Amino acid sequence: MITDLDSAARALHNEVPLCDKALYLRMGECSLRLRSNSAQLLGVLRTYFAHVLSTAVTPDIEVIAIERAAPDLCVDFIVW
């Protein structure tokens, strides 16, 4: 059951091991670290975001992209 942000994060992440490497992006004044459990996805995103790649820094935002089957979160999901 999802009751707060921590329980939502646990349900979405599901203890999936992440790749050792991450992508670091710089978008204006904002730095971002992108992590995933899929090296293939990171490769595709590295190409897509090539124009904003950065060196490893302490990020303002961290995004974790998990490749897995859709979890059953027991909440209504609306496709936008």
How far apart are alpha carbons 45 and 53 in whole angstroms? 10
Confidence of residue 40 (pLDDT cuts 50, 70, 90): very high
pLDDT at 15: 77
What is the arithmetic mean of pLDDT over 9-24?
84
Confidence of residue 43 (pLDDT cuts 50, 70, 90): very high
Question: What pTM, to 2 d.p., does this model score?
Answer: 0.75
DSSP 23: E
How far apart are alpha carbons 74 and 58 in whole angstroms? 34
What is the arithmetic mean of pLDDT over 7-36?
88
